[in-house]
Amino acid sequence: MEQRLSERVRNIKPSATMSVDAKTKSLVASGQPVINMSVGEPDFDTPTAAAFAGIRAITNGNTRYTPAAGTVALRQAIARKLMTENGLTYAAEQIIVSNGAKHTLYNVFVAICDEGDEVILPAPYWVSYPEQIELAGAKPVIVGCDESTQFKMTPAQLEAAITPNTKAVLLNTPSNPTGAVYHEEELQALAKVLRNHDVYVVLDEIYERLVYDVKQTSLAAIAPELQDRVIVVNGFSKAFAMTGWRLGYAAAPADVAKAMASFQSHSTGSPSSMSQAAGLTALSHFDPAVVETFQHRRDVLVEGLNALAGVSCLPPEGAFYAFPDISGVIGKRYEGTPIESATDYCQLLLEKALVASVPGDAFGSPNHVRFSYAVADDDIAEAVQRMRQFHQKLS
């Protein structure tokens, strides 16, 4: 056969974060003391009550298929959570539970996008967004954002990006990779633009509980007149340290929710019954202390990064990532080896300083690097020290 693989699959770019994580774990397996700040995975444990709920599901025989959209009990609990915590009114039939928020997002794009549609995507963006949009047959329309707006899309940028082909706008707040949080007045300004255009709004709020010194507000709550075209995506991985449980969800207009459930029934089927049992319990067991822990780590890391020559870093207001600008390092050398890109910088930092990070190219921002501070306090302090020594050797 001349061409064995589909064009759709051939065009997929491997996940940069997963690739770096794999290389890092390979070095660790060989005995290298690598500090892995490349992957977005909390370093604390799943809440004990949730873990035991998953175990009880297994020992009680709750190990069979559930409805494709998730158990009624979990969908009802999510609807209650959205009402009490976010001020959003959804029926259980409008909730779709999937195998992680990443899976949920893919279901969303498949459900709403046709060939030739456009999805407005502010950059920097999470690495999987453009790939998922393209897999659904649509085109990501990238809107570049930088430090001048705290990495947030302005109403003028949004208005300029909308065309007759626009099907959806994607907002991730708090953001991966920047940690940017859209404030209420900023969301109001974006909503004012969106009221004049019949497009979907996809809100990825997976980091909603992890905010520092600011209030997390959902655009869906402050602009209820848009709710018939807003799709809220969330999950359990980040706030509840349940990455391996693979559990996410969407709250959507009834027709979109029905389409997502239908698609999921033919692609992956129902989410894990044990994971859903754990998630049901987790919803009432969030520990606010994790926010204080992450905030302390953020402060230590950002201070350390800003002390490095050629590096500047805005303090993130949410999530657990720092996204420094390293353009002042581009063009320098490390022991004779040139640094011509963020990728070069990250590779050298991993090989020479044993600190793993992700180059900003993967996030649509080539002069930046993403560091996850979802690692132990001692590791962050050690990573800062190693980076300081690394930078002292730049010339």
Residue 10: per-residue pLDDT = 84
Diameter over CA atoms, the chain: 63
Tens-place pLDDT, residues 312-321: 999 999 999 9
Same domain? For 170 and 231 the reply is: yes
Buried b (16+ CB within 10 A) or exposed e, 159-176: eebbeeebbbbbbbbbbb
Q: Could you say which of 266, 282, 298 is where a domain stops?
A: 282
- Residue at 331 is within a domain: yes
Q: Looking at the DSSP assignment, which residues form a beta bridge with residue 139? A: 118
Residue 28 has pLDDT above 90, yes or no: no
- Residue at 228 is within a domain: yes
Q: What would the DSSP string read from start to end of 117-129?
A: -EEEEEES--THH
- Residue at 227 is within a domain: yes
DSSP element (H, E) containing 267: helix 254-267
Residue 17: per-residue pLDDT = 67
How confident is the model over 288-311, as a mean pLDDT? 97
Residue 250's φ and ψ, nearest 5 degrees, are -130, 145
Tens-place pLDDT, residues 337-386: 999 999 999 999 999 999 999 999 999 999 999 999 999 999 999 999 99
Tell me, what CATH number does 100's domain have?
A: 3.40.640.10
DSSP state of 15: P
Q: Could you say which of 230, 254, 282 is where a domain stops?
A: 282
Tell me, what CATH number does 320's domain have?
A: 3.90.1150.10
Same domain? For 334 and 210 the reply is: no
Same domain? For 54 and 15 the reply is: no
Mean pLDDT of the chain: 95
- Residue at 248 is within a domain: yes
Same domain? For 327 and 191 the reply is: no
- Residue at 340 is within a domain: yes
- Residue at 316 is within a domain: yes
Same domain? For 219 and 300 the reply is: no
Residue 261 has pLDDT above 90, yes or no: yes
Same domain? For 234 and 91 the reply is: yes
- DSSP 3-state assignment of 198? coil
Range of the domain at 87: 48-282
How confident is the model over 20-30, as a mean pLDDT? 81
